């Protein structure tokens, strides 16, 4: 195999785009020595060709005309880093039609329209590579599809949204309110001005859809995933959970039973404070994958940012340029649900432990009433916490930890609690996630 040159076009010169351009311009020789391929960035397309950017580009490379990229037959790989789900989809389809392999970091687009795009790529005999779509610099797509390829994947537990993890870490370590921690994240550039997609859990759901699709081998859409965000997180629950040995994280969880039942969910989760995921702090991401042969693995790194995400895009460029991505992409058989034996479970079927906090009147017989309702729904207690409080309104928090039970029983119990005269506000309920111990 003689050394070869592969020409590359990039659409979207934002933060990550600049990072990708920087690596391609500065490390071209280094990559060639390791792969035998000279990567040549020959065209960059962006609507704004005037803006000052943190890198120096070769003269004439930047244009606002997408056709300059599409019509250049020498460009083999097109990178879409525009974001959003409308224009970006059009750009990807046009690049495929123009005979280019596509690389993208666009999790929202792939989660919502992946199968349409994958079909277009298969039809054009091209591939779409998307390492950068999940968990930034962590090579998690590659790990699932190649490094763990001999495994039947049983479960994924991921901290895949750096914004939420930054906020929850600050709430936990600095005893800050959600609002204060969000404001700080925005000031630090870790949260958008409109943070809805992050704090509402939607971004994590997009990533879980992609990770679970490739892990479990069937089409998974964002609407298949039960989603709760962190926007209503009260600092008191982080404190009380901490006292009981738990740390609050926004987890994206995909599980497949041996019978092919798939559980998919994103929600605030109490995990044991001594577990590895509990200790993933700040803007970092981590994904723990359980395979039938390998047991527990965990992959840790930066989930966002200019250079970490660029690192993942460049890994894809190399893989596509070497022809390796395309072979695996051929077998990206994400069967439509109707054609597979896989069954997506409803959240009501979930069996979990739960943390429940009630604000109750401080008077005799309160715990008896709580316990009567739990008993009625066959929910068994595993822990109780009630602090003495010296406030004036005679209302105190009562916290209950349950043994494993079904979500639908908890939902019914919560509705019953709300009807009690002694319960003074809507109960808070947080799932406790017991990550399996792969121990000896």
Binding site for its own copies (CB under 8 A): 1, 19, 23, 27, 30-31, 33-36, 131, 137-139, 142-143, 145-152, 188, 217, 276, 279, 282-283, 291-302, 305, 307-308, 310-315, 317-319, 322-324, 327-328, 330-331, 333, 438-440
- Bin 346: left if φ > 0, else alpha if -120 < ψ < 50, else beta: beta
Neighbouring residues of 183: CB distance < 8 A, sequence distance ≥ 6: none
Instruction: Provide the minimum distance between the beta carbon of 186 and its own copies in the complex, in angstroms, as a whole number.
Output: 14
* Complex with its own copies: residue 138 or 379, whichever CB lies closer: 138
List alpha helices for 244-365, DSSP H.
Answer: 306-321, 324-330
Main-chain dihedrals φ then ψ at residue 5, nearest 5 degrees = -110, 135
Nearer to its own copies, 22 or 377 (CB): 22
Burial of 221 (0-12, 13-18, 19+ CB in 10 A): middle
Closer residue to its own copies in complex, CB, 32/359: 32
Closest CA to 41 of 31, 29, 28: 28
What is the per-residue burial (b if ≥16 Cβ within 10 Å, else e) of 142-172? bbbbebbeebebbbbbbbbbbbbbbbbbbbb
Cα 136 from Cα 134, distance rounded (Å): 6
Which residue numbers are catalytic? 207
- Find the shortest distance in angstroms from Cβ 154 to its own copies: 13
Considering beta carbons, is residue 276 or 420 the nearer one to its own copies? 276
Q: Is 336 helix (H, G, I), strand (E, B) or coil?
A: coil
Helix ranges restricted to H, 289-406:
306-321, 324-330, 366-376
CB closer to its own copies out of 216 and 417: 216
d(CA 420, CA 237): 21
Minimum distance, C-beta of residue 343 to its own copies, in the bound complex (Å)? 18
Distance between CA atoms of residues 174 and 242, nearest Å: 13
**In the complex, least distance from residue 302 CB atom to its own copies, rounded to whole angstroms:** 5
Phi/psi of residue 123, nearest 5 degrees: -65, -40
What is the rounded distance in angstroms from the CA atom of residue 102 to the CA atom of residue 164? 29
Those residues with Cβ within 8 angstroms of residue 330's Cβ, 6 or more apart along the chain or in another chain: 122, 127
Give the 3-state secondary structure of residue 146: helix
Cβ 37 to its own copies shortest distance, Å: 9
Q: Which is nearer to its own copies, 154 or 267 (CB)?
A: 154
H/E run at residue 236: helix 235-243
Task: Report strand pairing: 261-272 vs 428-432.
Answer: parallel
In the complex, the smallest distance separating the C-beta of residue 262 from its own copies, rounded to whole angstroms, is 16
Question: At its nearest, how many Å lie between its own copies and the CB of residue 131?
Answer: 7
Taking the least distance from each CB to its own copies, the nearer of 77 and 370 is: 77
Residue 401: CB minimum distance to its own copies, A: 24
Count CB atoms within 10 A of the CB of residue 196: 12
Closer residue to its own copies in complex, CB, 241/305? 305
């Amino acid at each position: 195999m003689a050394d070869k040159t592969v020409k590359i076009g990039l659409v979207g010169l934002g933060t990550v785009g600049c990072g990708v351009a920087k690596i391609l311009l500065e490390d071209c020789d280094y990559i060639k020595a390791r792969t035998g391929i000279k990567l040549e960035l020959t065209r960059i397309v962006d609507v704004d060709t005037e803006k000052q950017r943190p890198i120096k580009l070769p003269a004439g490379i930047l244009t606002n005309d997408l056709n300059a990229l599409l019509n250049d037959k020498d460009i083999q790989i097109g990178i879409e880093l525009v974001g959003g789900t409308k224009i970006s989809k059009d750009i990807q389809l046009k690049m495929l039609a123009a005979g280019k392999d596509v690389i993208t970091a666009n999790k929202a687009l792939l989660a919502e329209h992946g199968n349409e795009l994958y079909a277009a790529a298969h039809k054009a005999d091209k591939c779409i590579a998307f390492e950068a779509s999940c968990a930034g610099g962590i090579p998690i797509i590659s790990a699932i599809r190649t490094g763990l390829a001999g495994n039947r994947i049983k479960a994924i537990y991921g901290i895949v949204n750096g914004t939420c993890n930054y906020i929850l870490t600050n709430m936990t370590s600095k005893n800050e309110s959600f609002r204060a921690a969000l404001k700080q994240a925005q000031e630090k550039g870790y949260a958008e001005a409109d943070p809805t997609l992050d704090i509402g859990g939607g971004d994590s759901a997009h990533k879980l859809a992609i990770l679970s699709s490739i892990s479990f081998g069937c089409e998974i859409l964002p609407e298949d995933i039960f989603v709760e965000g962190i926007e209503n997180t009260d600092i008191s629950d982080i404190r009380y959970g901490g006292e009981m040995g738990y740390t609050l994280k926004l987890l994206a969880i995909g599980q497949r039973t041996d019978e092919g039942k798939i559980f998919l969910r994103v929600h605030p989760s109490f995990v044991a404070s001594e577990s590895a995921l509990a200790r993933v702090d700040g803007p970092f991401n981590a994904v723990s994958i359980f395979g039938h042969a390998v047991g527990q693995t965990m992959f840790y790194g930066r989930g966002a940012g200019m250079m970490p995400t660029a690192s993942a895009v460049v890994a894809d460029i190399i893989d596509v340029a070497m022809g390796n991505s395309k072979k695996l992409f051929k077998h990206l058989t994400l069967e439509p649900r109707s054609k597979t034996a896989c069954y997506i479970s409803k959240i009501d079927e979930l069996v979990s432990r739960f943390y429940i906090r009630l604000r109750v009147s401080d008077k005799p017989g309160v715990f008896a009433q709580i316990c009567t309702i739990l008993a009625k729904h066959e929910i068994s207690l595993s822990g109780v916490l009630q602090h003495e409080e010296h406030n004036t309104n005679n209302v105190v928090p009562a916290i209950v930890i349950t043994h494993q039970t079904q979500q639908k029983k908890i939902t019914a119990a919560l509705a019953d609690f709300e009807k009690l005269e002694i319960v003074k506000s809507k109960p808070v309920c947080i799932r406790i996630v017991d990550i399996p111990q792969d121990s000896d």
